[in-house]
């Protein structure tokens, strides 16, 4: 009797906990108000759990229709296509993105990549801030942003000051405030950190920049489509961001840039291309910048990838940023709960703020074997996550298509990889894109 009881309780200890968590995940999914959006995206039958939408979002099914339509426009309309919607797309789609980030429709344009847009706006900002020539950013910013900012600062004979992180997860706002001084031309920060998911307080830091006479530029790459932002509410001057992450715009989809209306006529961006000219088709020999946001555009828009972005933007707008944020927080809290129950005892750390109000829409877990673990999960066709040096495994939570069941399955898979040590076979493996 005694033995049997002891035996059945020890079994009961493991299985009901997992199944209870699974049942909870299923109940959350059944009650999810965004549930129908999952079916708007392509899912490979029997494919792995995809928690990588912070790097490249899933493909909206409607994007395939847009690509097919664009292909026939290309083949049948050819050059007539420019006047039949192609040339207007950068501002038309920019206006749609404006609605997601707290901007006015005539304050956002789509062009180039985030890095190039950052260069153009930072350069334009330094040009009107002379003799100030210092840029302030932080050590958790995306390295491409830091490279671009340093290049711009040096081109003006200035320097980039990088505010360090005290805990490796966040940047203390008071440290940013202390770095902004009378020499500072521009404060350029990324709202949600690509690695740790830590959020900056946009209102507070924009106000701190303005108080010292600096302009404030925000990179929204990991926020747009995931974390509500109110650029006007914060009085932000400039912003840039990606469209292929939580906006699901597709690989290499062009980026966006925001310039507050009152600044548009004052700023002159450095790449004086014909499509930012007041009258591109007059082909005059003198550069005359266009009025409004169009002056920040340089060359011909990448029509195919730009049009393919639209369904992703529309789906995010239909779902609504408030509902997206609410679900994203719930997914993240569930993930952290599973981490605590299953993975913390196995030596996995939490590399993101625990408090949801300080976190964007991904959660990072840390482990010294992080790369081998993500490769083992991919190879076993269990979960697609990504890895950022030195030890950071990122779980991107895209509220429009990820479920609580996805979180459960991915966390269960990583637990099994750790328990069976199947990651050991991947220690020596090298991949170009992690
Ligand atoms: C993803 C990302 C980029 C990407 O820049 P591209 O020039 O579009 O490749 C830039 N900045 C941040 C903060 C990002 O997260």
Which atom of ligand 1 approaches the CA of 145 most closely?
11
Q: Which among 53, 55, 110, 115 is the best mutation to test ligand 1's pocket, defined by most ligand atoms within 8 Å of the CB?
A: 115
Ligand 1 centroid–CA 407 distance in Å is 25
From residue 60, give the alpha-carbon distance in Å to each of 39, 114, 251, 256, 411: 9, 22, 12, 19, 25
Beta bridge partners of 136: 161, 187
What is the average per-residue pLDDT within 258-278?
97
Rounded distance, CA 416 to CA 434, Å? 21
Q: At what angle do helices 303-319 and 89-101 cross, to 10 degrees?
A: 30
Cβ neighbours of 415 (radius 10 Å)? 19
Q: With a cut of 90, say whether residue 4 has pLDDT above it.
A: no
The average confidence (pLDDT) of the chain is 95
The active-site residue, picked from 120, 245, 294, 327, is 245
pLDDT in tens, 347-363: 999 999 999 999 999 99
Cβ(241)–Cβ(254) below 8 Å: no
- CA-242 nearest atom, ligand 1: 8
List pLDDT tens digits, range 384-419.
999 999 999 999 999 999 999 999 999 999 999 999
- Residue 2: pLDDT band by 50, 70, 90 thresholds? very low
54 Cα–ligand 1 center, Å: 11
- CA–CA gap between residue 127 and residue 215 (Å, rounded): 12
Q: CA 9 from chain center: how many Å?
A: 45
237 carries an active-site annotation: no
Q: Is the pTM of this model over 0.85?
A: yes
Q: How far apart are CA 152 and CA 158, in angstroms?
A: 8
Ligand 1, atom 2: closest residue by C-alpha? 221
Residue 3 has a pLDDT of: 46
For a ligand 1 pocket test, name from 114, 116, 198 the mutation site with the most ligand atoms within 8 angstroms of its C-beta.
Answer: 114
Residue from 194, 244, 334, 404 carrying the catalytic annotation:
244
pLDDT at 261: 98
Q: Is the dihedral of CA 17, 23, 24, 29 positive or negative?
A: positive
Please give the biggest Cα pair distance in the chain.
Answer: 97
Query: Which residues are registered as beta bridge partners of 384?
Result: 50
d(CA 251, CA 68): 17
The Cα 331–Cα 396 span in angstroms is: 10
Closest CA to 133 of 161, 158, 154: 158
- Which residues contact ligand 1 via a Cβ below 6 A? 113-115, 142, 144-145, 190, 194, 219, 221-222, 242, 255
* Across 185-208, average pLDDT: 98
Query: If 0-12 CB within 10 Å is exposed, 13-18 middle and 19+ buried, where does residue 120 land?
Result: buried
CA 186 vs CA 86, 161, 170, 189, 214: distances in Å: 34, 11, 21, 10, 5
327 is catalytic: no
Mutate to test the pocket of ligand 1, among 242, 243, 364, 386 (most ligand atoms within 8 A of CB): 242
Q: Identify whether 219 is a catalytic site residue.
A: yes
Q: Take residue 48 and report the two structure tokens written for it.
A: 């792995």
Residues contacting residue 321 through CB under 8 Å, at least 6 positions apart: 100, 225, 228
**Buried-state track 299-326, b at ≥16 Cβ within 10 A, e below 16:** eebbbbbbbbbbbbbebbeebebebbbe
CA distances from 353 to 94, 98, 292, 364 (A): 32, 28, 39, 9
Selecting among 394, 404, 408, 415, the annotated active-site residue is: 394
Sorted by sequence, the CB contacts under 8 Å of residue 151 that are 6+ apart come out as: 119
3-state SS assignment for residue 45: coil
Give 138's Cβ-side CA count (13 Å radius).
34
What pLDDT is attached to residue 9? Answer: 46
CA–CA separation, 119 and 117 (whole Å): 5
pLDDT in tens, 301-333: 999 999 999 999 999 999 999 999 999 999 999
How far does residue 115's CA lie from ligand 1's centre (Å)?
Answer: 6
* Ligand 1 atom at minimal distance to the Cα of residue 142: 13
Provide the percentage of residues in the chain whose pLDDT is more than 70. 96
């Amino acid at each position: 009797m005694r033995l049997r009881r002891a035996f059945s309780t020890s079994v009961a200890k493991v299985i009901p906990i997992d199944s209870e968590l699974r049942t909870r995940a299923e109940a959350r999914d059944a009650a999810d108000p965004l549930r129908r959006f999952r079916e708007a995206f392509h899912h490979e039958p029997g494919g792995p759990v995809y928690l990588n939408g912070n790097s490249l979002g899933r493909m909206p099914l409607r994007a395939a229709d847009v690509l097919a339509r664009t292909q026939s426009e290309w083949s049948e309309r050819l050059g007539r296509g420019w006047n039949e919607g192609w040339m207007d797309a950068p501002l038309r789609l920019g206006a749609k993105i404006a609605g997601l980030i707290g901007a006015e429709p005539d304050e956002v344009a789509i062009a180039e990549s985030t890095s190039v847009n950052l260069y153009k706006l930072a350069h334009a900002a330094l040009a009107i801030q002379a003799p100030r020539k210092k840029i302030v950013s932080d050590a958790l910013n995306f390295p491409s942003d830091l490279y671009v900012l340093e290049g711009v600062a040096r081109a003006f004979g200035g320097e980039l000051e990088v505010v360090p992180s005290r805990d490796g997860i966040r940047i203390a706002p008071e440290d940013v405030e202390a770095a902004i001084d009378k020499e500072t031309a521009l404060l350029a920060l990324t709202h949600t950190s690509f690695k740790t998911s830590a959020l900056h307080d946009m209102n507070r830091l924009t106000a701190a920049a303005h108080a010292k006479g600096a302009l404030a530029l925000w990179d929204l790459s990991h926020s747009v489509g995931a974390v509500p932002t109110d650029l006007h509410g914060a009085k932000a001057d400039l912003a840039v961001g990606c469209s292929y992450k939580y906006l699901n715009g597709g690989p290499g989809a062009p980026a966006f840039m925001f310039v507050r209306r009152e600044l548009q006529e004052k700023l002159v961006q450095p790449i004086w291309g014909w499509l930012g000219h007041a009258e591109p088709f007059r082909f005059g020999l003198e550069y005359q910048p266009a009025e409004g946001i169009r002056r920040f555009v340089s060359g011909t828009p990448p029509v195919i990838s730009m049009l393919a972005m639209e369904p992703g933007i529309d789906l995010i707008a239909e779902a609504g940023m408030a509902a997206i944020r609410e679900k994203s927080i719930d997914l993240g809290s569930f993930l952290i709960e599973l981490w605590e129950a299953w993975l913390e005892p196995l030596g996995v750390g939490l590399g993101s703020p625990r408090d949801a109000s300080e976190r964007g829409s991904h959660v990072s877990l840390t482990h010294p074997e992080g790369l081998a673990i993500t490769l083992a999960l991919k190879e076993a066709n269990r979960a697609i996550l990504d890895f950022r040096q030195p030890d950071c495994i990122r779980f991107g939570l895209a509220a429009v298509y990820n479920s609580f069941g996805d979180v459960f399955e991915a966390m269960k898979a990583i637990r099994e990889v750790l328990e069976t040590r199947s990651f050991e076979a991947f220690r020596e493996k090298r991949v170009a894109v992690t």
